[in-house]
Copies of this chain bind each other. A is one copy, B any other.
Amino acid sequence: MNKGLEDIVVAQTKLSRVDGDNGTLIFCGYDIRELARFATFEDAAYLLWHNELPTRAQLTALKQQLADARGLPDVVLRVLRDLPRDTAPMDALRTGVSALGAGSQLARPNLAQAIALTAQVPLIVAAFDRMRRGREPLAPRADLDHAANYLYLLSGTAPTSTQNRALNTYLVLLADHGLNASTFAARVVASTLSDLHSSIVAAIGALKGPLHGGAPSRVLDMLDAIGAPANAETWIRAALARKERLMGFGHRMYKTADPRAEILRELACATCAPEFFARAQMVEETGLRILRAQKPGERLYTNVEFYSAAVLNAVGLPRDLFTATFAVSRMAGWTAHVLEQVADNRIIRPDAEYVGRAPSSVISLDNQ
């Protein structure tokens, strides 16, 4: 039995390669460190959808397609308005994408749908965020790129170029990561030849889980609770003594530093308030020192969530939108994987070992 399906190869992919032993992540041949330096979210999405980087003309065309798709049918806005204001944003996003898929005929997932849905997901997140704060959703701005438009729709103000670049880098870094649980859930659904919306709804539900994308805001909660760098050691030792998990430490796939975490650390340094970054760094160093002393054999590093939280906080996102913003990024990878799945499909149906009671053909009378 292999409960986690570790090392079980279920697909060939042209999309990304996670090399946890060497700490590298490749998107369609390009090292994530390289992409993070120059690519916008649109570049990364084009790369994942087409397996090559866009020319200038192709990038312009994609930006236009995304801008043209920035709209939500009334039904989606009505559904979002119906939800209780204290709905978790991931639940609102899951319900909004499901409603968006309602009323359309069952169709084989295609690139046009992938582009449209990628353009619409940030609109759903932002519309719900405005509504829960008693405000009306804003009209999208075609002159802004994907990242900037998202921040604009949330705040009503176009972001600074520093904020825009920081969010773009975040959106590039998180856009794909092999067959993580949400991507795999999307592919399992797609393997029945269901529709794109059903696949993405499944992925959103999986990303919500605290073992996957549901935890980044808890890093911030931890940094808040620690308060000052000087408190880090005492706080961390007490938390570990209570058998609590330290948020943002460790990743199943990486036995060395996660390259995304390293880029996000630099980005956090450039974008966060100095006091905040100093505290985060102190917590990272202290946490790693203590954990490594407790488990000398393990190679332990902070993961992508640790500095994601700092960066998303610095660009002005409320912490309960962090996971939904992860979804805004991962839409590129999820949709690319769904397209890859249906291009050469086989229904995904693993086996289980039956360990229940032995078959009995006699049902006792008491049970009748």
| Identical copies in the complex | 2
Interfacial residues of chain A within 15-38, with CB under 8 A of chain B in the complex: 15-17, 24, 26, 28-31, 34, 38
A363:B30 contact, CB within 8 angstroms? yes
A191 within 8 A of B: yes
Extra pairs beyond A184-B349, A193-B214, A194-B209 (18, CB < 8 Å): A2-B10, A3-B344, A5-B349, A6-B349, A12-B355, A14-B357, A17-B356, A26-B354, A29-B357, A29-B358, A75-B84, A83-B103, A106-B214, A181-B191, A181-B347, A185-B185, A190-B209, A193-B211
B353:A12 contact, CB within 8 angstroms? yes
A11:B3 contact, CB within 8 angstroms? yes
Closest chain B residue to A195, Cβ basis? B208
A206 within 8 A of B: yes
Interfacial residues of chain A within 312-362, with CB under 8 A of chain B in the complex: 344, 346-361
Closest chain B residue to A31, Cβ basis? B361
B352:A179 contact, CB within 8 angstroms? yes
A233 within 8 A of B: no
Rounded to whole Å, the gap between the CB of A99 and the closest CB of chain B is: 5
A51 within 8 A of B: yes
A88 within 8 A of B: yes
How far, in angstroms, from A189 to B198 measured CA to CA in the complex? 13
A55 within 8 A of B: yes
Closest chain B residue to A101, Cβ basis? B91
Given A9-B350, A91-B101, A91-B102, residue A189 in contact with residue B201 (CB < 8 A): no
A179:B351 contact, CB within 8 angstroms? yes
Chain B residues whose C-beta falls within 8 Å of the C-beta of A211 in the assembled complex = 191-193, 347
9 residue pairs, one from A and one from B, having the closest CB atoms: A192-B209, A198-B205, A29-B357, A14-B356, A194-B209, A202-B202, A17-B354, A5-B350, A192-B212
Given A5-B348, A192-B182, residue A13 in contact with residue B353 (CB < 8 A): yes
Q: Which of B9, B87, B360 contacts A102 (CB 8 A)?
A: B87
Given A103-B91, A201-B205, residue A193 in contact with residue B210 (CB < 8 A): yes
How far, in angstroms, from A10 to B350 measured CA to CA in the complex? 7
A367 within 8 A of B: yes
